């Protein structure tokens, strides 16, 4: 990896941090060590680095804000690429052009404060815009796919192409980016409309209060663990299986919301995974419902 570090530094492609804990990179605050964390300073720097990684068989993973990832306790001898520098926001009258590294929550709050409607649902969702597009993040029966007009991605050859909303094949917590792992989102065009500032402000306040009352926001977590099966709620199935509050090591199924696993006390990644699989297997046994994991496992054998 010394040659990789040398290449990035000599070509002035961005910031590099060596041996960084996944505890600092994920909202679960769990996991092993990433050998290299790389912050490309521009899209062109990203493209140049990706070509180098590919030509030299260097493992890499493009990372958002780690709000939906369960890394293993093992170390990762590859490159974690963080797109934090792709953070420009350009607001027009009917749409906004935003970089993939922009915080979705910050973007939503900024637009709402300026009187733009469309992203109220996202004011409590952590993660980056790129990550939100990847998984079609959403809440309150709305999702990022509802407001996306198009995105720019790097394709298999690291060329920049534009994909329309139709081409993105948005579904419940899914998009074309999940089935085509070669695509890397670098920018999104989001539809916005002018709204009543006071109405928007009240809606955000109401939903913030509801989140505080129903979600374990005081503990590290990655939000909802499982997708809701059609016509049902994953949290209720887990609660009805008497697993609310159940612990394995430092991981715990939240007392507030059973579809949240929290890092209750210095949890290991293996604690989280074991608890997740216990909930999944128990619901399958009790109700013959196969819960789909909403979060992404990374660096597990």
Catalytic residue among 67, 143, 187, 294: 294
Catalytic-role residue among 173, 221, 254, 268: 173
Q: What's the CA gap between 128 and 69, in Å, rounded?
A: 13
C-alpha dihedral, 145 to 146 to 151 to 155, nearest 10°: 30
Residue 179 DSSP SS3 = helix
Q: What gap in Å lies between CA 99 and CA 190, rounded to an integer?
A: 11
Nearest to 300 by CA among 81, 80, 76: 76
Active-site residue, from 224, 241, 254, 268: 224
Q: Is 294 a catalytic residue?
A: yes
Instruction: Give Cβ neighbours of residue 113 (< 8 Å, ≥ 6 apart).
Output: 197, 201
Tokens 């196969």 locate to 290
Separation of alpha carbons 252 and 218, rounded Å: 13
Q: Provide the 3-class DSSP secondary structure of residue 141.
A: coil
Residue 135: C-alpha distances to residues 138, 145, 171, 174, 176 (Å): 9, 9, 9, 5, 9
Answer for the pair 66, 269: CB distance below 8 angstroms, yes or no: no
3-state secondary structure of 101: coil
Is residue 221 annotated as part of the catalytic site, yes or no? no
Residue pointed to by tokens 């030509």: 55
Phi, psi angles (nearest 5°) of residue 159: -90, 150
What is the rounded distance in angstroms from the CA atom of residue 51 to the CA atom of residue 40?
13
Active site residues: 173, 224, 294
């Amino acid at each position: 990896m010394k040659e990789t570090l040398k290449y990035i530094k000599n070509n002035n492609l961005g910031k590099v941090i060596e041996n960084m804990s996944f505890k600092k990179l994920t909202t679960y605050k769990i996991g092993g060590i990433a050998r290299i964390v790389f912050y490309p300073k521009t899209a062109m720097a990203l493209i140049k680095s990706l070509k180098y990684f590919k030509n030299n068989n260097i493992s890499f993973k493009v990372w958002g804000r780690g709000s939906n990832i369960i890394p293993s306790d093992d170390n990762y001898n590859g490159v974690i690429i963080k797109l934090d520098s792709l953070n420009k926001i350009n607001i027009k009258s009917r749409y906004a052009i935003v970089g993939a590294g922009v915080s979705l929550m910050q973007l939503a709050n900024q637009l709402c404060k300026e009187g733009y409607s469309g992203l109220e649902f996202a004011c409590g969702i952590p993660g980056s815009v790129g990550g939100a597009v990847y998984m079609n993040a959403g809440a309150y029966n709305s999702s990022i796919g509802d407001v996306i007009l198009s995105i720019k991605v790097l394709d298999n050859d690291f060329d920049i192409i534009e994909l329309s909303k139709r081409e993105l094949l948005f579904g419940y917590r899914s998009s074309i980016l999940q089935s085509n792992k070669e695509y890397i989102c670098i920018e999104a065009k989001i539809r916005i409309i002018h709204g009543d500032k006071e109405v928007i402000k009240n809606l955000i306040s109401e939903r913030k209060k509801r989140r505080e009352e129903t979600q374990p926001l005081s503990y590290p977590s990655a939000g909802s663990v499982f997708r809701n099966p059609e016509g049902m709620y994953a949290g209720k199935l887990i609660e009805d299986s008497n697993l609310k509050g159940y612990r394995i090591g430092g991981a715990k199924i939240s007392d507030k919301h059973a579809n949240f696993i929290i890092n209750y006390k210095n949890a290991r990644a293996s604690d989280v995974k074991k608890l997740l699989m216990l909930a999944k297997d128990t619901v399958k046994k009790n109700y013959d419902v196969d819960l789909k994991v909403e979060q992404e496992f990374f660096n597990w054998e």
